[in-house]
Amino acid sequence: GSTPNICVNNPCLNGAACQNMPGGGFRCICRTGFTGNYCELSTGTSGGSTPNVCVNNPCLNGAACQNMPGGGFRCICRTGFTGNYCELSTGTPGGSTPNVCVNNPCLNGATCQNVPGGGFRCICRTGFTGNYCELSTGTPGGSTPNICVNNPCLNGAACQNMPGGG
């Protein structure tokens, strides 16, 4: 069998060249100013210095982006926000423990419970499961759950229950 030509549909971005690799893989040869497996990140640099990931500020809710040595970054959240990208509202005006439950992320009538340190957990009503109680077990009791009841599949895909409830 011949090696597949992955580069025929060039998965590389920002004008990068795609190079098929022996054994079926590929790599993107990025133009100056881009980095990442698919050359999807702007370095904000014209040479070989540390990439400036913050050029496209991935931080949310007005947070400041800080480049880290080695090419990573961190978001410096404004008061009232938390999370890697400052995507979560703490519901607090100051420095107290964040109240993540202020925006109740739990679904299907579940109760949100703050956890010390700023996290939360959802206490599901009977018939629901999952981190956010987003899955219907389809059962009033303890039989095998019918997870497909609320079809969690996307883009018209079919859902199939598996033995054991998966």
Helix (H, G, I), strand (E, B) or coil at 56: helix
Q: Domain map of the chain by residue range?
A: 6-42, 101-166
Q: 6-42 and 101-166: same fold?
A: yes
Q: Tell whether the torsion through CA atoms of 86, 89, 95 and 101 is positive or negative.
A: negative
CATH number, span 101-166: 2.10.25.10
The pLDDT of residue 29: 87
Say if pTM beats, i.e. exceeds, 0.85. no
The pLDDT of residue 142: 46
The pLDDT of residue 136: 84
pLDDT along the chain (166 residues), means of 10: 74 85 83 80 62 72 77 79 80 61 81 78 88 78 53 61 56
Residue 120 structure tokens: 């939360």
Other CB atoms closer than 10 Å to residue 122's CB: what's the count?
22
**H or E segment at 115?**
strand 111-115
The pLDDT of residue 48: 52
The pLDDT of residue 66: 79
The answer to whether 28 and 7 have CB atoms below 8 angstroms apart is no
Per-residue burial over 38-59, b if 16 or more Cβ lie within 10 Å, else e, is bbebbbbeeeeeebbbbeeeeb
The pLDDT of residue 143: 46
The pLDDT of residue 5: 77
Which fold does the domain 6-42 belong to in CATH?
Laminin (2.10.25)
